[in-house]
Structure 1
């Protein structure tokens, strides 16, 4: 209702300004006519002299229907020479006089209530003109009726449309509020219903809220999965560590092998928690303040140089392929090194002796692409969408070395840099492709 009232007041103000402006313009038009007539009479006097001027003023007075226009020509002595005013008008000449105050002979137009007056010098003569206000009043009357009718129509239609829009908006806001209430009560699957192809502000807000709720739901599911995976993956090494410690406690002699095994098991647990902490830091903190432009060729060279001895020991050929131009990436150099290290280490660890691992980069119109290609055993299709989940490992026994966090960490680094990481078959082998969008 407040907006409707404000709308009505503003509409009335606009219509009032339109009425006032029209009145001013029409009145100025009438005065322009009198100025134009005076200029014409000046030209007539200059060309024809006194007699022609007097005749022309008398002619104008005679053709003035019902004294709609009045004229009076005074000589240098102030005596009336011609016109339809029977006596002189008071001095100084007012801008407007009521019709009954003018000394007119004959009938006066019924709708004339007054005259706008003007005085001009025509040679030695003084010309007084008057224009009745009936034309202006008729125009303003018609305009006033049109404006009142238009204002009523605008206000009524505005109120009807405003009430309808207000009800629709209230229902949609209530739907948003109810959805948020349900979510706060624990129903994380609740979503705001959005009409297809809707592009208004509330639809955009609703879409963003739905996206936010979806992200919250995914994060909670991820946290639940992480908790389950931690419980599953940590149970076995912790049980082994406890068994070894119990054995050491009960044994009269301490064997170095048991101590070494216990330390190795402890290091494995610590490494797992450090990897989890690293992922949480990347996902939860703002690392973009450390971003700078980096040439990815340098990162590729440094990482492959570090892993060349490991690859040689495993009987794997590690090569690189980079262009002559720079491979510029805006990001954190340490994290980019970590990303490539995890992928290269993953390829070396899962490929048998005699395999080849290729690290390549190229600039494309869509962005920079980094690829790690191998011809090893590959990844099963059903696992390609799950390999980036925390603690995921393809082996059913889950007894091989590792904690299943390397690719999850790589995915977190890609997300931070706005990059997209995908995995596909190399037939044989696997291709990891990272697209850094421009």
Structure 2
């Protein structure tokens, strides 16, 4: 290989750079999500604290309505006494601003802020060590004003635990993302290197080289590798076919060209020109031209350049036209030519002229190679859930070993070795089938042969 794929650090530069970029993007998105989760949790916990104070105010209001002010005073004092280290604060004021009950030693200035630092509240007794401030709420209960406060220590503890969990989780996500990104990048780079190395080997002449396929067939690189391998296989087959065609042309055209040259040399050296020799030379020239025209037509069809002419074609009409054209030739050869088509239209998407050429070659081939008294039948149907053309005869048949080789260019079986022709008729049929995505099947008719064209569309 002239340019082997580098395997050092520079070979991983692209994959690692992409991995780091995606890891950075993933880290930023994770940080945003974690920050959003932290803020949302803080909001929900604070809202839960306020809901608790609203619920307590509603309970005290019911106590006042049901049992009067004395019961209200006792209930507020009881709540203040059971508040551990003043985690909750209560104060009940009458209409004159006099403290009636609670654990606040003095009154506060109204309106109250939403949050007050702990050292600014006139509390009686010790304060919980982790309380840094209180959320306050004011409610009216009859003629009285109820002030409630809840320490922030519980919220802080929840947020502290959540913050530690989020930080540790974020660091783990970033670390795992980096490790996984670099690991995937290295795997991807190795697979890309395998593709590049294979292409380099093919470009240097090793057409047998193929890309190894991973165990996951649905992976993008696996599908790409499979497509490249398929392309390389097709290129190999085309090159082998071209080599075979060249050999076949050199082998099959050498004899008629030598005969033509000998006849022309004879004409050159002869003092008298024989009209028969000129006619024979012209006939040989026409055969050679016909052979090259057939090869050119096959090459044009295999190039798929005629797909732009595709349209819906009625096979029943094709069968009727071909049968009508070849009836005189079949009658002259002592062969009975029949056709059978279904009542409904039998349509395929393709080139009408090429499909007619396909049918003509099959029928002509049957008439040419079958003896007198043979019956040749042309039919079409959809019995196999697909449009199908069928040309069958009860002639001598084709050897099983030759049924695959008859579609090769210039192939001629032993039975047809001495008959006229260039061995390209069935090769043209195969090219037309491939262009239309049709499948050609040759089977035994006991006796005779059946040529079946199945359009898989």
Shared fold per TM-score greater than 0.5:
yes
Task: Tell me how far 1:144 sits from its aligned partner.
Answer: 2.2
Matched with 2:180 is: 161
> SS at 1:189's partner residue?
coil
Match of 2:8 in 1: none
Residue 344 (structure 2) aligns with: 325
Counterpart-to-counterpart distance in 2, 1:390 and 1:344: 18
Equivalences for residues 226-305 of structure 1 within 5 A: 226-305=245-324
Compare 96-105 and 67-76 and name the one that shifted more.
67-76
| 1:367 partner SS | coil
Q: Higher relative CO (CA 8 A, sep ≥ 6), structure 1 or 2?
A: 2
The answer for unaligned runs of 5 or more in structure 2 is 1-15
Change (3 A) 1:220 1:396: farther
- 1:91–1:365 CA distance, 2 compared to 1 (3 A): farther
Give, in angstroms, the shift of residue 323 of structure 1: 2.1
Correspondence for 1:136: 155
**Do the aligned partners of residues 117 and 275 (structure 1) sit closer, same or farther apart at CA in structure 2, a change above 3 Å counting?**
farther
| 1:218 alignment partner in structure 2 | 237
> Any gaps of 5 or more consecutive residues in structure 1?
none
Residue of structure 2 equivalent to 1:408: 427
Greater Cα offset, 193-202 or 400-409: 193-202
What secondary structure, in the 3-state scheme, does the structure 2 residue paired with 1:15 have? helix
Q: Deviations over 1:14-45 (max 9, x none)?
A: 33332222222222222222222233334344
CA deviation map 1:104-155 (0-9, x unaligned): 2211111111222223333443333222111111112222222233333333
- Higher mean C-alpha displacement, 159-168 vs 268-277: 159-168
Q: Is the 8 A contact 2:337 2:376 kept in 1?
A: yes
Q: Which residue of the partner structure matches residue 375 of structure 2?
A: 356
Q: CA deviation at 1:265?
A: 2.0
CA gap of 1:279–1:125, structure 2 versus 1, over 3 A, is farther
Match of residue 313, structure 1, among 313, 332, 355: 332
Structure 2 equivalent of residue 74 of structure 1: 93
How far does residue 179 in structure 1 lie from its aligned partner after superposition? 0.7
2:116 to 86, 91, 97: 97
Q: CA deviation at 1:177?
A: 1.2
Q: Secondary structure at the match of 2:289?
A: helix
Contact 2:216 2:222 in 1 (8 A): no
Confirm or deny that 1:433 pairs with 2:452: yes
1:366, 1:437 within 8 Å by CA — same for their partners in 2?
Answer: no
The farther-off stretch of 66-75 and 426-435 is 66-75
Question: Using the alignment, how far apart are the partners of 1:365 and 1:48 within structure 2?
Answer: 93
Give the Cα–Cα distance (whole angstroms) in 2 for the partners of residues 303 and 88 of structure 1.
Answer: 113
Which string of whole-angstrom CA distances, capped at 9 and with x for unpartnered residues, describes residues 238-263 of structure 1? 22333333333344444332332233
Q: Give distance in 2, aligned partners of 1:396 and 1:301.
A: 30
Tell me how large the CA RMSD over aligned residues is.
Answer: 2.4
- Listed one character per residue, the Cα deviations across residues 350-401 of structure 1 (whole Å, up to 9, x for unaligned) are 1111111111222135422221111122222222112112222224995542
- When the two structures are superposed, what TM-score results if normalisation uses the length of structure 2? 0.88
Q: 1:313 to 1:168 in 2, by over 3 A?
A: same
TM-score (norm 1): 0.92
User: Aligned-pair distance for 1:198?
Assistant: 4.4
Once the 2 structures are TM-superposed, how far is the Cα of residue 220 of structure 1 from its aligned partner? 0.7
Number of positions where the alignment pairs a residue of Structure 1 with one of Structure 2? 438
Pick closer, same or farther for the CA change 1:123–1:244 going to 2, 3 Å: farther
| In 2, Cα distance between equivalents of 1:378 and 1:111 | 102
